[in-house]
Amino acid sequence: MSEKIAFIGVGRMGSIMAARLIAAGHELTIYDPVGSSTAPLASLGAKVAPSVADAASLSTVAMASVPGPADARETARAIADSPALEVFVDLSTSGPAAAQAIAALLAPRGIAAVDAPVSGGVKGAAAGKLAIMASGSARAMEQVRPLLEVLGRVYVLGEKPGLGQTVKLANNLMSAASLAIAAEALAMGVKAGVDPAAMLDVLNASSGRNSATVDKIPKHVLNRKFDFGFTNALSFKDVRLCLEEAEALGVPMVVGAAVRQMLSITHQVHGAAADCTELVKVVEDWAGCRIGNTEE
């Protein structure tokens, strides 16, 4: 069944998800503060609204793919008085506290909140193979699940607001930790004289195998392109949110704190626009070696 959807945030990930929903026959009204980002979706049939509130005014479902918790909360506030709106779906990584605040804000208005952060990056979004970590009321999930299944595989984690966000933060912490430890291990190998590609072959056939050794380093570091497509700034934000939530729950994160520090240093050295894989450069500089092609 076709749904009227307000889609807020059509950047790198949002634009791909929105395009898939249009292709599936849904009627989208979109908004993004960067006006130029809406043109490709307008050419596919999406209506462009001048504000978040206008986008949601005639929609039954609102979906957001925005940078962080402040943006998600602001989006929720902007749609809270939309007369036809039934469900708000936050596809962003905004954290459990934001999810809980959004649910509390929207519930008195009769709008259900679903937190459904995604994992899989641009490639997963384009293929409709995102992992979607969702939590929300059974009624709301029943309504939006067909929409989410256009984007990937849905994992329903419960009805409590923020459970999807909790799992997403844990996932992103583990992903960042994998990159950090793989960078250190490979730097040790290279410094000792081991070819990094050969070392990756061994690691990927052994118990050290992880997302960095399988994907990020062989495809985006050895060639010195550092173009995985997820910024270090976003990774830093996600890990910071994860540690804040862990602290609130009374869960120690000794390793997580070290990963956060590595991401902070990468941010300071390489800037806000740095790709997440540029964390490897920090390790290389400290170790006095280069992993992969030394011609930059």
Q: 61-85, pLDDT tens digit by residue?
A: 999 999 999 999 999 999 999 999 9
What are residue 63's DSSP bridge partners?
7, 89
Amino acid at 140: A
Q: How far is CA 141 from the centre of its chain?
A: 20
Neighbours of 2 (CB within 10 A): 8
User: Is pLDDT at 167 greater than 80 in this prediction?
Assistant: yes
pTM: 0.93
Residues 283, 289: Cα–Cα separation, whole Å: 9
Is residue 2's pLDDT more than 90? Answer: no
Whether 296 shows a pLDDT value over 50: the answer reads no
Q: What percent of the chain has pLDDT over 70?
A: 99
Counting DSSP H helices and E strands in the chain, the numbers are 14, 9
Q: Are residues 112 and 87 in contact, defined by beta-carbon separation less than 8 angstroms?
A: yes
Instruction: Give the 3-state secondary structure of 151-168.
Output: HEEEEECCCCCCHHHHHH
CATH number 3.90.1410.10 is the correct assignment for the domain at 165-287: no
Q: Where are the beta strands (DSSP E) in the chain?
A: 4-8, 27-31, 47-48, 61-64, 87-90, 112-115, 118-119, 130-134, 152-156
Report the C-alpha gap between 124 and 119 in whole angstroms. Answer: 8
Strand residue runs (E) in 164-268:
none
Closest CA to 134 of 105, 155, 110: 155
Summarize pLDDT for 180-207 with one digit per residue, the tens.
999 999 999 999 999 999 999 999 999 9
Where do the structural domains in the chain lie, given as residue ranges? Answer: 4-160, 165-287
- The answer, yes or no, to whether residue 294 has pLDDT greater than 70, is no
Q: Which of 230, 234, 247 is nearest to 96 (CA)?
A: 247
Query: Which token pair is 42?
Result: 């307008």
Question: Average pLDDT of 221-238?
Answer: 96
Q: What is the pLDDT of residue 21?
A: 98
Could you please state the CATH topology (level 3) that the domain comprising 4-160 is classified under.
Answer: Rossmann fold (3.40.50)
For residue 1, the model assigns a pLDDT of 72
pLDDT at 295: 52
CA 295/CA 222 separation, integer angstroms: 11
pLDDT given at position 293 = 80
> Whole-angstrom Cα distance, residue 187 to residue 287?
7
Whether 101 shows a pLDDT value over 60: the answer reads yes
